[in-house]
A and B are shown apart, each in its own frame.
Chain A
Amino acid sequence: MEDLVVRAEGLRKRFGTTQALDGVDLAMRRGTVLGVLGPNGAGKTTAVRVLATLLKPDEGRATVAGIDVLKHPQEVRRKVGLTGQYASVDEDLTGVQNLVLIGKLLDLSRKDARRRADELLEWFDLTDAAQRPAKTYSGGMRRRLDLAASLVGRPEVIFLDEPTTGLDPAKREDMWGVVRTQVARGASVLLTTQYLEEADALADEIVVVDHGKVIAHDTPDGLKRRVGGQTLRVRPSDPERLPEVLHVLEAVAAPGTTAAKDEAAGSRPGSASVPVTGDAALADVVIELRGRNLEVTELALHLPSLDEVFHTLTGKKKAEELV
């Protein structure tokens, strides 16, 4: 039998007239990262709160680290670390006070709590700010402190609810590094995100949720195959040379697809895109452009946007596009 560290079956939760969870099944293998992908209001946060024992579902059952979250919530709490969407650090406490408090609440001795706090602060590059109240921290520092707080007890399972929302790209990469380190130490990570890129970078498997339902559960590669994979976009410095760019892109098009000018509503004109199957296409295109002495202002591989993922998976356009 598979070693599932998180298993949820038929979770339902209603808030007033909103059906936040409408029969959610989840399965996460031990030592892996499960990405829960979905737009705002899809039910991601509700699902995490149920698994982290903060919320009781109306129906369904779930186990975390093999323990029933409804029957033995206290035991589950010993095994999990949670970092919420809003950094829940205590603003009036310093970084070290925040972490020592968590350590004491996890029954560490004062000395051990302090040692663990120092260790985490150093690891999260917060040693210089350790003695400052958290209210003086930047957004990124707060996120790091919040994440550090969830790791004080060396949890077996870590829940990260949109850990990088609102962070700049460099900070996002840092956060990804932290997730990878935790997995390397043997932890299992369930993370929610609105970014396909993030799920692709971190997750072993991706669950796509929408309106409280799981609409896909696949590996990143499997998901990309289903939603059309990556797109290569090129924007020449000289708009006159766009037809030439189209010609170059045509040569690397994925089977059954063609290169096209970007004319979708909202996109800036003057660029062309082509669906590609692998990263090799990027190198081919760069060499070809160089050979033709074609200068570009933009050259990038794009994953499909979340909208496109949903479009493909549900077969319908999002409401705002229909209007």
Chain B
Amino acid sequence: MTAIAKHSAALAHRSLIKTLRTPEALIDVTIQPVIFLLLFTYLFGGAIAGGDRHAYLQFLLPGMLAQSLAMGGVALGQNLNADIEKGVFDRFRSLPISRSAPLVGAVLADVIRYLTVCVVMLAFGTIMGFRIETGAVPALAAVALSIGFGLCFCWISVWVGMLARTSGAVQGIMFLLVLPLTFGSNVFVETDTLPGWLQAFVHVNPMTPLVETIRGLLVGGPVAGHLLVTLLWMAGLLVVFVPLALRAYARRA
């Protein structure tokens, strides 16, 4: 293993210990998505899907999986911001390791949170009546893509975490971004029910192809085209936000 991989792994292990020691920090990837799922299925589901709750759950769950992953990255930026405030990162900076290792390590450790979201939502969804209509391989592919997207998307949160003055501000800024992206999308309703200007937004929203792909992989439908667009978006997120985050980290003394 190269030095940066080894150091990132050691720092990812550190983040994992922290996560496991504070289970309440997992609420946003366990109880919260379940509550959202219950809320939208039983409160709005009847009205939205003309009474057919099961059909709505089949439509909703893949989209909410994508939403939960986008929201799940918010905590990462907050934690990193708090770590820097406490001076823990001063120690890392004074060690002969790559500057990016502390950030890469923290991002890698977030895999466990994104995996948790996927498992919790699919398991609880199944209890509520959700059925995977494709097969084990496409379903696993959906989980892998979800986690992959989460790992790319969370770099925005890391960047904001490096820039914001407090961890509370990180949350505020991130929700300002995540809420329009996840609600202004095809997660909750069919795009053609929306007014034209909003449809235009939904069509350029990176959440849209992701949701279409996960839907296709879990309940059937076209996948290839949406998958390609999603992968391009993921690459784009990395190309833009990884350097921004690293630069902001280097500047934050």
User: Given known contacts A49-B253, A84-B87, A107-B3, is B94 in contact with A92 (CB within 8 Å)?
Assistant: no
Binary per-residue interface labels of chain A (285-321) against chain B in the complex, 1 for a CB within 8 Å, 0 otherwise: 0000000000000000000000000000000000000
- Given A97-B17, A102-B95, A104-B6, does the pair A54, B88 have CB atoms closer than 8 Å? no
Q: In the bound complex, how far is the Cα of B22 from the Cα of A133, in angstroms?
A: 12
Residue A215 lies at the interface, judged by CB distance under 8 Å to chain B: no
> For chains A and B in complex, what number of residue pairs have CB atoms within 8 angstroms?
70
Which of the 9-residue segments A73-81, A115-123, A170-178 touches chain B?
A: A73-81
User: Once the chains are docked, how many angstroms separate the CA of A105 from the CA of B4?
Assistant: 10
Residues of chain B within 8 A (CB-CB) of A242 are none
Q: Which of B3, B10, B94, B97 makes the CB contact (< 8 A) with A82?
A: B94
Check if A248 is an interface residue, CB within 8 A of chain B: no
B97 contacts A90, C-beta separation under 8 Å? no
Smallest CB–CB gap between A75 and chain B, Å? 8
Tell me if B247 is interfacial: C-beta within 8 Å of chain A: no
Q: Which residues of B contact A77 (CB under 8 A)?
A: 94-96
A273–B113 alpha-carbon span in the complex (Å): 67
Q: Which residues from A are CB-within-8-Å of B6?
A: 104, 107
Measured in the bound complex, the distance between the Cα atoms of B22 and A16 in whole Å is 38
Q: Are A88 and B95 in contact (CB under 8 A)?
A: no
Shortest Cβ distance from A149 into B: residue: B91
CA distance A133 to B20 in the complex (A): 13
**Smallest distance from the beta carbon of B82 to chain A beta carbons, Å?**
10
**B54 in the interface (beta carbon within 8 A):** no
Q: Tell me, yes or no, whether B14 is within 8 Å of chain A by CB.
A: yes
Identify A105's interface contact among B10, B22, B89, B253, CB under 8 A: B10
Chain A residues, Cβ within 8 Å of B165? none
Smallest beta-carbon distance B100→chain A, Å: 13
A101: Cβ under 8 A from any B Cβ: yes
Residues in chain A near residue B86, CB distance under 8 A: 86, 88, 91
Task: Using known A-B contacts A49-B253, A93-B17, determine if residue A88 contacts B91 with beta carbons closer than 8 Å.
Answer: yes
A78 to B3, CA, bound (A): 14
Q: Is there an interface contact between B21 and A92, defined as CB atoms closer than 8 Å?
A: yes
Q: Assuming the A-B contacts A88-B86, A93-B18, A133-B21, are A105 and B94 also in contact, with contact meaning beta carbons closer than 8 angstroms in the complex?
A: no
Contacts of A88 in B (CB 8 A): 86-91
Tell me the bound Cα distance from A102 to B92 in angstroms.
8
| B7 proximal to A (CB < 8 A) | yes
Q: Which residue of B has the minimal Cβ distance to A80? A: B94
Q: Decide: B92 and A105 in contact? CB cutoff 8 A.
A: yes
A151 on the B face (CB < 8 A): no
B93 within 8 A of A: yes
> A86-B87, A88-B86, A107-B3 given as contacts; is B10 within 8 A of A101 (CB)?
yes
Docked pose: A86 CA to B101 CA in angstroms: 23
**Which residues of B lie under 8 Å from residue A5 when comparing CB positions?**
none
Interface string of A41-74 (1 = CB under 8 A from B): 0000000010011110000000000000000001
Given contacts A49-B253, A77-B94, A105-B92, contact A90 B14 (CB under 8 A): yes
Chain A residue nearest in CB terms to B10: A104
A106 at the interface (CB under 8 A from B): yes
How distant is B113 from chain A, measured CB to nearest CB, in Å?
15
Q: Which residues of A contact B10 (CB under 8 A)?
A: 101, 104-105
- In the complex, the answer to whether A82 meets B90 with C-beta atoms within 8 Å is yes
Question: Shortest Cβ distance from A32 into chain B, in angstroms?
Answer: 22
A93 to B91, CA, bound (A): 14
> How far is it, in angstroms, between the C-alpha of A307 and the C-alpha of B143 when the chains are bound?
65
Rounded to whole Å, the gap between the CB of A165 and the closest CB of chain B is: 14
List the A side residues contacting B96 at CB < 8 Å. Answer: 74-75, 77-78, 106
What is the chain B residue whose CB lies nearest that of A54?
Answer: B93
Please tell me if the beta carbons of B14 and A101 are within 8 angstroms of each other in the complex.
yes
Q: Which of B6, B95, B253 has the most CB of A within 10 A?
A: B95
The distance in angstroms between the C-alpha atoms of A84 and B87, with both chains bound, is 9
Q: Are A52 and B94 in contact (CB under 8 A)?
A: yes
Q: Known contacts A54-B94, A82-B94, A102-B95; is A92 also within 8 Å of B18 by CB? A: yes
| Per-position 1/0 for B120-157, Cβ under 8 A of A | 00000000000000000000000000000000000000
Q: In the assembly, what is the distance between CA of A82 and CA of B87, in Å?
A: 12
What's the minimum C-beta distance from B210 to chain A, rounded to whole angstroms? Answer: 32
Minimum CB–CB distance from B134 to chain A (whole Å) comes to 40
143-179 of chain A: CB within 8 A of chain B: 149-150
A105 and B97 contacting across the interface, CB-CB below 8 Å: yes
Q: State in angstroms the CA–CA spacing of A77 and B99 once bound together.
A: 12
Kindly provide the distance from the CB of A45 to the nearest chain B CB, expressed in whole angstroms.
11
Q: Is the CB of A84 within 8 A of B95?
A: no
Contact at A54–B17, with CB atoms within 8 Å? Answer: no
Q: A74-B96, A101-B14, A107-B3 are in contact. Are A54 and B91 (CB under 8 A)?
A: no
Chain A contacts of B17 at CB under 8 A? 92-93, 97
- Closest 6 pairs (CB-CB, A-B): A88-B87, A77-B96, A104-B10, A92-B18, A82-B94, A78-B96
- 6 residue pairs bridging A and B, Cβ less than 8 Å apart: A55-B253, A86-B86, A86-B87, A90-B18, A92-B17, A105-B97
With contacts A77-B95, A149-B91 known, what are 4 further pairs, Cβ within 8 A?
Answer: A84-B91, A92-B21, A105-B101, A106-B95
